[in-house]
Amino acid sequence: MTAPLSLRELDAIGVDRLQGVGEERRASLGQVEIESVFDLLTHYPRRYVDRSREAKLGEVTPGQEVMVVADVESVKSRRTRNRRSIVEVSLSDDTGSLRLVFFNQAWRSKQLKQGLTVALFGKVDLYRGQLQMTNPLVDLVGDRTGRIVAIYPQSEKAGLTTWDIGRWSTEALRRCERRGIVEPLPAELLHDLQLPNRTTAFRAIHQPNSMSEVSEARNRLVLDELLRVQLVLRLRKMRRLESASGIAHRCDSELLTSFHDRLPFELTTAQQRTISEVEVDLKTEQPMHRLLQGDVGAGKTLVALHALLLAVADGHQGALMAPTEVLADQHYLSLVELAEGLEVLDDSTLMGVRPLSIKVLTNRITGTDRQRVVEGMGNGSVDLVVGTHALIQEGIAFSSLSVVVVDEQHRFGVEQRSILRERGRPDGKWPHLLVMTATPIPRTAAMTVYGDLDVSTLDELPPGRTPIITCWVEDGDDTVWQHVRSEIAQGRQAYVVCPLIEESDKLDADSAESTKDRLSKGELSGVKVGLLHGRLSGTDKQKTMDAFREGRLDVLVATTVIEVGVDVPNATTMVILSADRFGIAQLHQLRGRVGRGAHQSTCFLVTAEEISEDAEARIRALEESTDGFALAERDLELRGEGTIFDQRQSGSNDLKLASLARDRVWVERARDLATMLVNESGSLEQHEALEDEVRWFVERRDDDAENLLRG
């Protein structure tokens, strides 16, 4: 064969075809998710050592930040009285010597063996008359030569070194030379974007001659990753537009007028704008596919209820699906309160109207209660139903479902949405879909994660919401519990959040059960303390939440089961224990459980005295801002993307090189390219290599390719 190698073909060639990769090394590579030649070529260097810029040890001076390459002469490790580890390393080259000191990095004594050649980057200090670096960056470079040396992610556990990966990458590229690697993009397009072809990019990212080559190669391979994602989203959207048919709704009914007249407050400008966007969608037979994002407390539930009532006003039904029973119950209570007193037309009644029927369906609802709800959904007497996955269980069907709201969409897969859609209507028409998330999403992430949805944003809070004071305190600080007692004395309530349910030998973190016991007997003795976590039965969760809502509990000790949707206006204090173990988005969501009433609220972020730099950056961000969108951008910068698509894949990261924070311009270009390359019929037929690549990309993520592309 002489045709260029496609990514599909490279993915089908096992790494054991490479010289030196026997069964043991193949298993080691498998531990870091390198199974194929494609996996190896996309296991990118994490940084580069430019040996043309290295300094000689005899030339460095105190105060300099430099990169040096030297040999390890000796390694010593010891522990201080307070059990902190210190590793001391002596280095030398042919011009001088240098001392390294690593604090709390005991593993360095195993990494740095006598005779190794290492590259170091750090600040040089003078300590007792000797040059020293403290906690520098360290890369093992071995005997590799060349001006630019690629440094790969290493795995001590798997026994893989950077030069192992480099050697196999070099061999893989050499064996690809004869056929080359397929180029799916038109040459004129690459020229316009000033990008190299794919073969050149792979060679330059692994074997660069200069750092400018690395930059150009990275741009090309970043575009590849982002374009594949955008093409899937674009194909899905175009095929849905082509094939799907829904219900056109009137948007001027007495039910909607009555609903808005009864509201005890004015809508925000953002709510009015978003409701208008929803109505424009629902007036057509093209099914709505819209994302509603908004910060904590921005009023998403009201917008969702407006959409659901549009369905009911036209004689249809609405459904709201939430990921947890606690959240489903909270939504149910919120909808019942907002819709109190509303009536719908019903010719079968004497007066021609009846009260709006809103029901909840979770696994907690059993027996005859469940049967009544299911029968009402089937015969149309239930107008709105709020539920969990129970809504898509076997045997559940609707009479005429025309609007679906899915909350916290990232916890549901495409297949689950499809089931709800298919069982919603006997005539095969698609319900309108409104996806809600309380986790603000940076613009580039929204374009990548939800690129097939139209986006509405609630970017202002209702008037009267008091900003939450956020305080970072160290474990053992009694002011936290004094504050909680003071608030309780004034009739308020508090949450205490822990990362674990039970004690764990593996994690030094607070557990909900032990924390409740400790607080009840100690800091909060005499206070009514309840416990809520995911392992409680649905009935017990409901009883605990009811007791807290009704004020029969002063403090609720909980895990992150309360992260979203729980709304108790009288709760004014949030204490998050082991706060360094949570991400920014989660901390922001938890903080948003307070500040929902008229009284000043406070959030305490409790950590140990020493935490990692990353954790400190997260905590500082929460202290400095209550703006969910600003925090989302900061979170993206600190944490990266994780897995872009939701629960439909086995967990591998769709973006190995691209960063939504760093590569905003390429996200935009990838989306524009996808729009240009996919034709009006939702096809890539004029770009066969690219079409095959997208199909392979979807298939390798363990999905039903046809279903995913269909959306």
> What would the 3-class secondary structure string for 440-477 be?
CCCHHHHHHHCCCCEEEEECCCCCCCCCCEEEEEECCC
Would 656 be classed as within a structural domain? no
Quick one: 273 and 347 in the same domain?
Answer: yes
Is the separation of the CB atoms in 356 and 344 below 8 Å?
Answer: yes
Q: What per-residue confidence (pLDDT) applies to 142? A: 66
- Place 356 in a pLDDT band, splitting at 50, 70 and 90: very high
Quick one: 683 and 592 in the same domain?
Answer: no
Tell me what the mean pLDDT of segment 292-309 comes to: 89
Q: Which helix (H) or strand (E) holds 405?
A: strand 401-407
- Spatial separation of the C-alpha atoms in residues 338 and 335, rounded to whole Å: 5
Tens digit of pLDDT for each residue in 314-334? 999 999 998 888 888 889 988
Is the separation of the CB atoms in 328 and 387 below 8 Å?
Answer: yes
Quick one: 491 and 608 in the same domain?
Answer: yes
Is the separation of the CB atoms in 149 and 48 below 8 Å?
Answer: yes
Is the model's pLDDT at 644 over the cut of 50? no
Task: Please tell me the pTM assigned to this model.
Answer: 0.69
- Spatial separation of the C-alpha atoms in residues 654 and 649, rounded to whole Å: 10
Would 225 be classed as within a structural domain? yes
Is the separation of the CB atoms in 15 and 168 below 8 Å?
Answer: yes
Would 698 be classed as within a structural domain? yes
Tell me what the mean pLDDT of segment 661-670 comes to: 88
Quick one: 356 and 498 in the same domain?
Answer: no
What are the DSSP calls for 78-93, one per residue? EE-TTS-EEEEEEEE-
Contacts of 62 (CB under 8 A, 6+ apart): 124, 125, 126, 131
Tell me what the mean pLDDT of segment 147-163 comes to: 78
Q: What per-residue confidence (pLDDT) applies to 277? A: 96
Chain mean pLDDT for the chain: 86
Tens digit of pLDDT for each residue in 6-46? 999 999 999 999 998 989 999 999 998 899 999 999 999 98
* Length reported for the chain: 711
- Domain of 67? 48-151
Tens digit of pLDDT for each residue in 393-419? 888 889 999 999 998 755 555 566 667
Q: Which of 111, 134, 151 is the last residue of a domain?
A: 151
| Pairing mode, strands 317-321 and 401-407 | parallel
Is the model's pLDDT at 651 over the cut of 80? no
Would 19 be classed as within a structural domain? no
Q: Of 362, 363, 420, 448, which is closest to residue 646 (Cα–Cα)?
A: 448
Q: What per-residue confidence (pLDDT) applies to 364? A: 85
| Pairing mode, strands 571-576 and 493-497 | parallel
Q: Specify the amino acid at residue 659.
A: S
Q: CATH number, domain at 81?
A: 2.40.50.140
Q: What per-residue confidence (pLDDT) applies to 413? A: 56
Q: What per-residue confidence (pLDDT) applies to 156? A: 66
**Strand-pair partners of 167:** none
The least confident of 107-116, 380-389, 592-601, 633-642 is 633-642
Quick one: 602 and 633 in the same domain?
Answer: no
Q: What per-residue confidence (pLDDT) applies to 690? A: 92
Is the separation of the CB atoms in 217 and 201 below 8 Å?
Answer: yes
The count of other CB atoms within 10 Å of the CB of residue 110 is 11
| Pairing mode, strands 384-387 and 358-361 | parallel
The least confident of 247-251, 402-406, 630-634, 642-646 is 642-646
Quick one: 610 and 707 in the same domain?
Answer: no
Quick one: 92 and 212 in the same domain?
Answer: no
Is the model's pLDDT at 206 over the cut of 90? yes
Q: Which of 105, 134, 151 is the last residue of a domain?
A: 151
Q: What are phi and psi of 31, to 5 degrees?
A: -65, -25
What Rg, from alpha-carbon coordinates, does the chain have? 29
- Spatial separation of the C-alpha atoms in residues 294 and 271, rounded to whole Å: 10
Is the model's pLDDT at 276 over the cut of 90? yes
Instruction: Identify which has the larger pLDDT, 538 or 646.
Output: 538
Q: Which of 458, 482, 500 is the last residue of a domain?
A: 458
- Place 392 in a pLDDT band, splitting at 50, 70 and 90: confident
Tens digit of pLDDT for each residue in 456-472? 988 887 776 778 999 99
Tell me what the mean pLDDT of segment 377-384 comes to: 94
Quick one: 221 and 99 in the same domain?
Answer: no
- Place 163 in a pLDDT band, splitting at 50, 70 and 90: confident
- Place 495 in a pLDDT band, splitting at 50, 70 and 90: very high
Quick one: 76 and 104 in the same domain?
Answer: yes
Instruction: Identify which has the larger pLDDT, 238 or 507.
Output: 238
Would 23 be classed as within a structural domain? no
Quick one: 424 and 477 in the same domain?
Answer: no
Alpha-helical (H) ranges within 263-392 are 269-282, 300-313, 325-338, 367-379
Q: CATH number, domain at 443?
A: 3.40.50.300
Q: Across 220-263, where does the E strand assignment appear?
A: none
Residue appearing with tokens 């909840």: 360
| Positive or negative torsion for Cα 627, 633, 634, 638 | positive
SS3 355: strand
Per-residue CA distances from 57 to 61, 95, 141, 142, 408 (Å): 9, 6, 17, 18, 55
Alpha-helical (H) ranges within 91-194 are 108-111, 162-176, 187-193
Q: Of 693, 435, 417, 465, which is closest to residue 569 (Cα–Cα)?
A: 465
Percent of the chain clearing pLDDT 90 (strictly above): 45
Tell me what the mean pLDDT of segment 146-166 comes to: 79
Quick one: 431 and 556 in the same domain?
Answer: no
Give the dihedral of Cα atoms 457, 460, 466, 472; nearest 10 deg: 50
The least confident of 29-43, 53-67, 93-107, 154-168 is 154-168
Q: Specify the amino acid at residue 702.
A: D
What's the structural domain count of the chain? 4
Top mean-pLDDT range of 412-421, 591-600, 678-687 = 591-600
Would 100 be classed as within a structural domain? yes
The least confident of 549-553, 691-695, 702-706 is 702-706
65, burial (CB in 10 Å: exposed 0-12, middle 13-18, buried 19+): exposed
Is the model's pLDDT at 482 over the cut of 80? yes
Tens digit of pLDDT for each residue in 357-369? 999 999 888 899 9
Would 655 be classed as within a structural domain? no
Is the model's pLDDT at 620 over the cut of 90? yes
Q: What per-residue confidence (pLDDT) applies to 265? A: 84
Q: What per-residue confidence (pLDDT) applies to 626? A: 86
Is the separation of the CB atoms in 290 and 281 below 8 Å?
Answer: yes
Is the separation of the CB atoms in 601 and 575 below 8 Å?
Answer: no
Quick one: 273 and 315 in the same domain?
Answer: yes
Q: What per-residue confidence (pLDDT) applies to 410? A: 53
Would 28 be classed as within a structural domain? no
- Spatial separation of the C-alpha atoms in residues 404 and 523, rounded to whole Å: 46
Q: What per-residue confidence (pLDDT) applies to 580? A: 92
Tens digit of pLDDT for each residue in 62-84? 988 888 889 999 999 998 877 78
